[in-house]
Amino acid sequence: MFLWDNVVFGPIHSRRLGSSLGINISPTTVKICSFDCIYCECGWTLEKTIEPCLFLPIEKIIDAIDMKLSQCKTIGTIIDSITFSGNGEPTLHPKFDQIIDALIVLRNKYYPKTVITCLSNATQLTNERVLAALKKIENPILKLDAVSEHLFKLINKPIVAISVEKIINLLQQLHGDFILQTLFLKGEIDGQIFNNTLEPHLSLWIKVVQHIHPRKVMIYSLDRNTPAQRLEKIPFEKLVEISQKIQQIGILADAY
């Protein structure tokens, strides 16, 4: 599995975001996340504690971003999105809110038209500072792969005490001003066959999407190696069919 060994990477071409400059504010030697998703491109979550001391200091992060944006500006590199992703869940960084504030200043200085994106699993929306920080950026992209507790535990394997019902309630705090991302997949895990595109789960998921009403839904499937072995990609045609169901309830949706 793959870990980024820097704070800043790219820009890389992203199917969803265009030219995306990646920001990794998680440790460079170990993935830290509140989930242990069976499909995570960083591999299994081996470090099960979330110790603040494991994270990179804010000064190092901001200096690295400043230097990279300055270099990119000088040579005329196009950046459509500055994107928090990397080795785990970015909102677990104890100074996530301060990093967002500093990044907004740098973005306005070097690339005022570029959006800031954060890929997050939404577990830290319980923290008011994280919620306020996510509200300041253009693209909070929040994950919801399953809406039943059983499938949620099977696919996302939360390592903190949180239910999917709680996550759905937390998403509502953004009053629809966010992008929802859902990864559809099927396979076998822990001796159980599953498929989150099947009924009754799919209809329940659509109901939840209608209720929380994000401004857009991003639908995708597996694209890289996964830590769990018996997983299968959902055909693109099926993803398109699901995105059309979301469009029919008046919400923008795209399959990738």
Instruction: Name the one residue in this structure whose structure tokens are 């992008």.
Output: 179
Which letter, b or e, does each residue of 69-101 get, where b requires 16 or more Cβ atoms within 10 Å of its Cβ?
beebeeeeeebbbbbbbbbbbbbbbbbbbebbe
Residue 121 or 197 having the CB closest to ligand SF4: 121
Dist. CA 183–CA 239, nearest whole Å = 10
Asked if residue 159 lies in contact with residue 33, where contact means CB atoms within 8 angstroms, the answer is yes
Side-by-side strand order, sheet with 185-189: 192-195, 185-189, 231-233
Peptide bond into 11 cis (omega under 30): yes
Q: Does 121 bind ligand SF4 (CB under 6 A)?
A: yes
Which position among 42, 146, 217, 231 is part of the footprint of ligand SF4 (CB under 6 A)? 42
Q: Does 40 bind ligand SF4 (CB under 6 A)?
A: yes
Q: Does 47 bind ligand SF4 (CB under 6 A)?
A: no
Q: Does 221 bind ligand SF4 (CB under 6 A)?
A: no
Q: Does 33 bind ligand SF4 (CB under 6 A)?
A: yes
Q: Does 24 bind ligand SF4 (CB under 6 A)?
A: no
Kindly write out the interface string for residues 79-108 of this chain, putting x where it contacts ligand SF4 by CB under 6 A and - elsewhere.
Answer: ---------xx-------------------
Q: Does 180 bind ligand SF4 (CB under 6 A)?
A: no
Q: Does 231 bind ligand SF4 (CB under 6 A)?
A: no
Q: Whole-number minimum distance, CB 4 to ligand SF4, in Å?
A: 11
Q: Does 122 bind ligand SF4 (CB under 6 A)?
A: no
Q: Does 218 bind ligand SF4 (CB under 6 A)?
A: no
Dist. CA 98–CA 173, nearest whole Å = 21
Instruction: Give the Cβ contact number of residue 228 at 10 Å.
Output: 17
Q: Which residues are near ligand SF4 by CB under 6 A?
A: 33, 35-37, 40, 42, 45, 88-89, 121
